[in-house]
Structure 1
Amino acid sequence: MTAEIIPFPIDRNIYFVRETARVLERRHGEAADRFWKLTCRRLYARLQVQGHADAAIRKEIEAFSDAVQMEMQRAAYAAREANTPKGAA
C-alpha cells in the first residue's frame, strides 16, 4: 500500500512568511537578492528531499513568494495607518 503525503502549504506558514518579509524589509539591493535566492533554494531543496515533483515545488515557491509580497504590502499599509493622525482636522 502506498500513501501520498500532502504537506502543509508553505504560503500558509504565517511565521515563515512574516519572518521572511521582515528580513527583506531590512535588507536592500544585493543583500536582499542574496537572501531571497538562498531562501528559495533552501525551500526548493527541502521540498525536493520530501519527494515532490519539480512542478509542484515551483508552484509552492510561487505561492510563498506571493504570500511574502502580500505580507510586505500589509505591513507597509499598517505602518502608514499608524503614522496617520486620527480624528478631525
Structure 2
Amino acid sequence: MTVVQFPADRRTAEVKRCAEALQRLHGEEANGFWRSEMAAFAAALERQGMVAEEISCQARRFMHAVQMELQLTFAMP
C-alpha cells in the first residue's frame, strides 16, 4: 500500500485550475488538455514510486473532483 500525502481529490488548487481550463476549452482542445494533464499526473505519481493500481485510483479520484467542481460551477446562477 502506498501512503499518499496529498490525495488527488484534495488538491483543491489543481482541481479548480483544471475545471476552469475545461470551462474555456471545447472539443479536441479540451480532450488534449485533459489527456496531457492526466499523463503528467500519472508520471509524477510514478516517479514518486506509486504502483499502477494506486495511480489509477488517484486518477479516478482527481477526475471525479474536477467533474464535481464543474457541476458546482454550472449549478450556480
Q: Which range, TM-score by smaller chain?
A: over 0.9
Which stretches of structure 1, 4 residues or longer, exceed 2 Å deviation after superposition? 4-7
Aligned length: 76
Cα distance in 2 for partners of 1:54, 1:67 equals 20
2:58 counterpart (27, 51, 60): 60
Shift of 1:77: 0.8
Q: Which has the higher contact order (CA 8 A, sep 6+)?
A: 2
Structure 2 runs not aligned, ≥5 long: none
After TM superposition, list the pairs within 5 Å mapping 1:1-89 onto structure 2: 5-78=3-76, 81=77
- Name the larger-Rg structure: 1
Shift of 1:56: 0.1
Percent identity between the aligned chains? 34
Shift of 1:5: 4.6
Q: What is the TM-score when the length of structure 1 is the normalising length?
A: 0.82
Structure 1 runs not aligned, ≥5 long: 82-89
- Say what the alpha-carbon RMSD is for the aligned residues: 1.1
